[in-house]
Chains A and B, each alone.
Chain A
Amino acid sequence: MRWGEIIRRLVLIPPTLFGVAVIVFVLLRVVPGDPIAMMIPPGATPADITRLRAFYGLDQPILQQFVTWFGQVLNGDFGRSISVHQGVFELVLARLPATLELALLALLIAVGLGLIAALIGIHLRGRRMEWLVDIGIGVLLAVPDFLWALILLLLLGVLIPLLPISGRIDPQLDISFHSNFYLVESLLTGRFDVADALLHHMILPALALALPFAALVARILKTSLAEAEDQDYAQIARARGFSRPEILLREVFPNALIPTVALGGVQATLLLGGTVLVERIFSYEGIGNMAIDAVINRDFPLIQGLVLTFAVLFIALNLAVDLVVTLLDPRLRHG
């Protein structure tokens, strides 16, 4: 990935988002299912229904609806939610920080666990205990994040009630925040008791998201470390009398990091997609939980806004991964 390539990718973002917008818009409207039918009270007259449909513009032809909606989006207006009766942009913006904090915490846990597992695995390389690490990684990888969420909820939330299993913070705690980045804000303003309460609520969902991803990081990193260790430069370093930990850390690790970031980064979108169900299971008030409510209520403007938000996050994540790989790899940096 060279700098020119990154600029090319930046240029490609608007058409990609346009494509996502078109597909979601059309998909929601060509299949049967009427958002107005979901919101009318039992006694509504046909005239009421027609009026509501006109109010949300659903009586227009699809192309007309799309042009109107997309024109508004370009002006920063994502429409009004049908079920919550608020602006979509404000709704998403209020919930997005919760999901970002959760995903970031999960990512940190995953990278930490994955790193430790890979280093233990490579340390045991060729010994009998190695298969234990491999089996552990295999099991973590085979069970999807939402099953981990349910298992953790039962084990650490109910059976051994160590951690809370609902929400973002205890409802009885009456704390005011200036932003919606509760955790970041409480850490920055030094309110560590609040941060502690927040973290308690976040650990289980974050761990559920992190476990399969940690296994993935561990597997890629372990393979890359093993490959790098067999290269000539590592052999030469050994011949020159460096110890194995020194070689692993100074020579092998930086080279194994590049494929790990490149391959793991692509899969990090899965972690982000996993927030949808994990937030639901832990009643965590992020955009994933909101997306499920929006879908159940057939809240077209909100679904469109949320899918676009996820698309932006996916693209941003992929771009960030490419940037990091470029910075890490001297061949690409000067290429």
Chain B
Amino acid sequence: MVDLAHDLSVGHSSRLVAGLKRGGARLWIGVALVGILLLVSLLAPLIAPHDPIEQDLMSAQLPPAWINGGEPAYPFGTDSLGRCVLSRLIYSARTAVVVALIAASLAAVIGIAFGLIAGSFGGWVDQLTSRLIDVWMAFPPVLLSIVLAAVIGAGLTSVIAAIVVVDWTRFARVVRAETMTQLRRDYAAAARVIGLSRGGIMWLEILPNLVPLTVTLLAVEMGIAILVEVILSFVGISVAGDTPTWGGMIAEGRQIVHQAPWIMALPIGCIILSVIGFNLLGDGLRLLLDPVQRR
């Protein structure tokens, strides 16, 4: 009874405040890191000191500005072709963000659709979808995405396609299980009693209840998509030619790691910060949105 009274007295706005508190430091650090990443990639042309593909062979392999021999014009130094490392890092963030946003969203849409269908129809539809997911999970994901990206050919689309094709199962499995759970609840039965169609129940009742779960998964998937893009561009089968990528910078830096270790170290730092950012954001959102924790 005390709990009930307490619940009633708490208004909507203070519930949001409570939620933000519950998300805690993780949520805020996650929001900050992801926010910086988005801002940097959005404003890349404004904040990059140089054109990322502009070569200056006269000033190749310059160390960062604060080390002896560095130049203030190149804050993070230059690579073996004399390209500005800071500018390349900034434009690489752009590639990473585009891949993360599009690939993760597409994987989510496809995975949620499959999960909803399997979870709500049950029977042979569910059997078929589940077996499909099982077969998918039997392949090593990294090898599968490398093979996929390679056979489709270089380009942003092929990277995104490889991630979507490999990772939709993450959403499908979870959404399928959650749909089944929700359909057993009283509110779903009530919706059936008042004569809502299967599609109506899915759209009006089940889907809104899946939001906390899928938003969390989406944030985590964006971190995974960034890692896969890095892997593919490291291997050399991501976007074509000149486009700067963190993975490409690591691969180039690997060749001259003894002479210019910063070329490899800096993109690794960016990747770690981005991935931690998305993971913390996912964690924070789960705590913020989870209806069980909210109660």
Identify the A interface with B (CB < 8 A): 19-20, 23-24, 27-28, 31-33, 142-144, 146-147, 150-151, 153-154, 157-159, 165, 269-270, 272-274, 276-277, 280-281, 291-292, 295-296, 298, 303, 307, 310, 314
Contacts and interface: CB of A to CB of B under 8 A. Distances in A.
B100 to A, nearest CB: 16
A158 B147 contact: no
A154 B151 contact: no
**Majority secondary structure of chain B interface residues (helix, strand, loop or mixed):** helix
Contacts of B146: 276, 291-292, 295
Interface residues of B, number: 33
A128 B36 CA distance: 35
30 contacts: A19-B135, A20-B138, A23-B135, A31-B151, A33-B152, A146-B231, A147-B272, A150-B264, A154-B261, A154-B264, A154-B268, A158-B258, A165-B257, A269-B140, A273-B140, A273-B141, A273-B142, A274-B142, A276-B142, A277-B142, A277-B234, A277-B235, A291-B143, A295-B147, A295-B235, A296-B150, A303-B147, A307-B143, A307-B147, A314-B138
Contact of B268 (A151, A272, A291): A151
A292 B235 contact: yes
B164 interface: no
Closest 8 CB pairs of A and B: A273-B140, A295-B150, A31-B151, A33-B151, A158-B261, A150-B268, A158-B257, A292-B235
A296 B236 contact: yes
Interface string B229-241: 0010011110000
Contacts of B276: 142
A277 B153 contact: no
Contact of A276 (B143, B152, B237): B143
B37 interface: no
B271 interface: yes
Contact of B147 (A27, A144, A153): A27
Contacts of A20: 138
Interface in B205-255: 227, 231, 234-237, 250, 254
Contacts of A31: 148, 151-152
A27 B151 contact: yes
A143 B272 contact: yes
B25 interface: no
B143 A273 contact: yes
A147 B279 CA distance: 15
A296 B237 contact: yes
Query: Residue among B151, B236, B237 with the most chain A CB within 10 A?
Result: B151
Nearest to B141: A273
A150 B138 CA distance: 27
A33 B153 contact: yes
